[in-house]
A and B are shown apart, each in its own frame.
Chain A
């Protein structure tokens, strides 16, 4: 039941809102969508503007003077960026897969009322939501104790599970899986593993899509893990690389006075405003293309009246 019906059918035809309200809603959403799109367009436009034109005439929706300089600068770092892109892809895909498995299994176990350890596990899941040991001790455990420093695992594992996602799973399972379905399977002698993988998961595609979405984009956007655990810049994720490009300029600008003359020479080699915006575009574009893939799994949410199954 991956995609919902493309057009209204059957009983839904009688259930539609009137034309008037439809127009109103369309206008509303159009404006909202525009307000979300316009900033992205500004970023795009800045990335395509010549540095001089930004300095002289400021920012515009449409560049006053086109220039491919920013993208040229980035392509000079070409191999670094391609490599970082590969790292990001690997980390995102495997992280999302691992995360879905870990999250959904726990969510399912928590959703079963008869489970003896439900209370204990609920606390185990809950406590990290409010308390954590702090950056330094996490660093110590991950880097020194578990030996994850400078490996891709440091980018994947710490982010695989979030209690927020586990609770979403649990709530979803509890509210939408009919008890009868599970009970009849149990009566038929099916074990929990079988029930989980063969019955519950296939009908929970909207949930998987949602969690998958959150995980996927959590991994894609993350730069912090790279900054902390990766010394070898060859293993940086794309976001980490781009973030370091941008934050470097900021940091230099703010510490100008303590560096004196050396500062001017250093800053001259930094990417300019347009390059930084180009970097942001490179991050957003793949994601914007990937999103519709997930969207079709809960598109039926856009159709009130879809039949499950």
Chain B
């Protein structure tokens, strides 16, 4: 009898404890959710009240979902400082919600599908097309030109074209290193030791001799070309525009004026390169566990990456290698996919579409806001070295990534990188050639089954193919057979039809 009384009172006590402390939890969050406000609540008038009046009842707080890391302790404070600034400048405040790198995929799908209110959302080529097809985003084509002409003009037409779906803009593309420029990078130590002439290296085959020299000199357990599962040889399919499908086997050759959609794996240039990779795998140039290795070694003798001038300084610091020799091998090229590396869209159900655009305009044109957003709390996370043009970072805990937010061209250069870094990037953008199908994004609403199943085939064989582990002469025919069975031809035909119709006008 006694024991049972003890038991039940213990359970009751625990339940009470739960109530009390859950109350604590919600009052903590109540503070932050009050700050967030819900867009449906506050000032519903179309244009935000400008200038001096800081009556907080009239200043809407927009919700911006983005991707990033773990939130540091001073996050709220930094956002507050930003809000003070923007409330005074354009009468808008922001509540930034961060989905972590690992959970972004799932979490954003849930937020969008469940109809949870938001105003601005970061997205990229992996989701943009599909989210627009679902009707999640607002058509801002007219709005951005009429309400925020500065924003519209700050981004070149070519880059806007990358955000077009069916001829309309559904997001603000982020103007950064929007063209892909591929660099191959050697650890200088090996360049010196083996007399590698990087000026002469233009194609994959040109790398053969240097790699073999390095292997012969360094020994059995040395792998000149260290690859990983997800990446393979970075930039391998650069020559083919994937129409934002994200399926390497289907694409259009970027300089093909006839815009023919082809089965990429069967193209002679791709096949020759795949064979080269396989040869290297067998010769021990590539690490044998590449198809299952998920993380790259920090200090590699050679790697391939998309970059811009000055990047090697960054790499040298983070990897501990003394000097990197990098040389350009491809590009700069703009495709719809490269532009869609980062976009910020406005929710179709947002009650503050103009305010949201005005906020994005400020981000893309005002260096003060831009730096706060990219680096954190001034004085704590970074300090100005030369106005808003050059900064020194003091912490590495700021969770937001600059490339997800807005233009690089009102952003400060960080100490250690070349001072004209952004000018050089801009130059690359302006020199960039465009893919012949720039502006075209494929509509897959009737092809969901085929896309899902072809993706499954690519997943099944892809990793070993792009790391050279499997023999392309055997695997590619097998893959193509399965791809066709999964509906690849249907996708190609539909894509061709859409392209022809799109470019006829």
A–B: direct contact at CB < 8 Å = yes
Q: Which residues of A contact B (CB under 8 A)?
A: 55, 77, 79-80, 87, 90, 93-98, 100-101, 135-137, 139-140, 143-144, 150-153, 156, 197-199, 201-202, 227-228, 231-235, 241, 243-262, 264-269
A259 touches B341 (CB 8 A): yes
Check A248/B100 contact, CB under 8 A, given A94-B21, A198-B1, A258-B125. yes
Contact residue among A152, A261, A265 (Cβ-Cβ distance under 8 Å from B21):
A152
Shortest beta-carbon distance from B9 to chain A in Å: 11
Chain B residues with Cβ below 8 Å from A202 are: 3-4, 7
Least CB distance, A190 to chain B, in whole angstroms: 12
**In the complex, which residues of chain A have a beta carbon less than 8 angstroms from the beta carbon of B308?**
261
Q: Which residues of A contact B341 (CB under 8 A)?
A: 258-260
Q: In the complex, A231 Cα to B231 Cα: how many Å?
A: 31
- Residues of A near B73 (CB, < 8 A) are 79-80
Q: By the criterion CB–CB under 8 Å, are B4 and A198 in contact?
A: yes
Complex partner residue of B314 from A87, A94, A234, A261, CB under 8 angstroms: A261
Q: A139-B110, A152-B21, A254-B230 are in contact. List 10 more A-B contacts (CB 8 A).
A: A79-B73, A140-B115, A144-B115, A235-B28, A245-B70, A253-B230, A255-B101, A258-B126, A261-B308, A268-B396
Query: Which residues in A have their C-beta under 8 angstroms from that of B28?
Result: 232, 234-235
Interchain CB contact under 8 A, A253 and B295: yes
Q: Which 3 A-B pairs have the closest CB atoms?
A: A247-B102, A94-B18, A97-B14
B17 touches A246 (CB 8 A): no
**Interface size of B by Cβ–Cβ distance < 8 Å?**
68
Nearest CB of chain A from residue B17's CB, rounded to whole Å: 6
What CA separation (Å) do A249 and B317 show in the bound complex? 19
Q: How far is the CB of A275 from chain B (nearest CB, A)?
A: 13
Tell me which residues from 111 to 127 in chain B have a Cβ below 8 Å from any Cβ of chain A. 113-116, 124-126
Which residues of chain A are within 8 angstroms of B319 by Cβ–Cβ distance? 264
Q: In the complex, which residues of chain A have a beta carbon less than 8 angstroms from the beta carbon of B126?
A: 258
**Given A258-B341, A261-B311, A228-B18 contact (CB < 8 Å):** no
Flag if A253 contacts B70 (CB, 8 Å): no
**CB neighbors of A among B83-132 (8 A):** 97-98, 100-107, 110, 113-116, 124-126
CB distance from A128 to the nearest CB of B (A): 20
**Chain A: CB-nearest residue to B13:** A97
Alpha-carbon distance A266/B69, docked complex (angstroms): 9
Chain A residues within an 8 Å CB radius of B305: 260-261
Bound Cα distance from A97 to B396, whole angstroms:
41
CB distance from B98 to the nearest CB of A (A): 8
A230 to B26, CA, bound (A): 11
Question: What CA separation (Å) do A90 and B15 show in the bound complex?
Answer: 10
29 A-B pairs (CB sep. < 8 Å): A90-B18, A96-B14, A100-B11, A101-B11, A135-B110, A136-B114, A143-B116, A150-B29, A152-B22, A152-B26, A197-B7, A228-B107, A232-B32, A244-B70, A244-B100, A247-B100, A248-B70, A248-B100, A251-B102, A253-B296, A256-B231, A257-B231, A258-B341, A259-B401, A260-B306, A260-B307, A261-B307, A262-B403, A266-B401
C-alpha gap A235/B28 in the complex (Å): 9
Name the contact of A227 in the complex, choosing from B106, B231, B294, B401 (C-beta under 8 A): B106
Give the residues in chain A near B97, CB-CB below 8 Å: 231
B306 contacts A250, C-beta separation under 8 Å:
no
A251-B125 CB under 8 A given contacts A202-B4, A265-B318 = no
Set B8, B110, B298: member contacting A197, Cβ < 8 A: B8
In the complex where A139-B114, A197-B4, A254-B230 touch, is A233 in contact with B403 (Cβ < 8 A)?
no
Q: Are B314 and A151 interface neighbours, CB within 8 A?
A: no
**Cβ–Cβ < 8 Å partners of B26 in chain A:** 150-153
Cβ distance A76 to chain B, nearest Cβ, rounded Å: 9
Contact between B102 and A250, CB atoms less than 8 A apart: yes
What is the minimal beta-carbon distance from B349 to any residue of chain A, in angstroms? 14
| Residue pair A264, B318 in contact (C-beta under 8 Å) | yes
User: In the complex the two chains form, is B110's CB within 8 Å of A228's CB?
Assistant: yes
Most chain B CB within 10 A, of A153, A232, A267, A269, is at A232
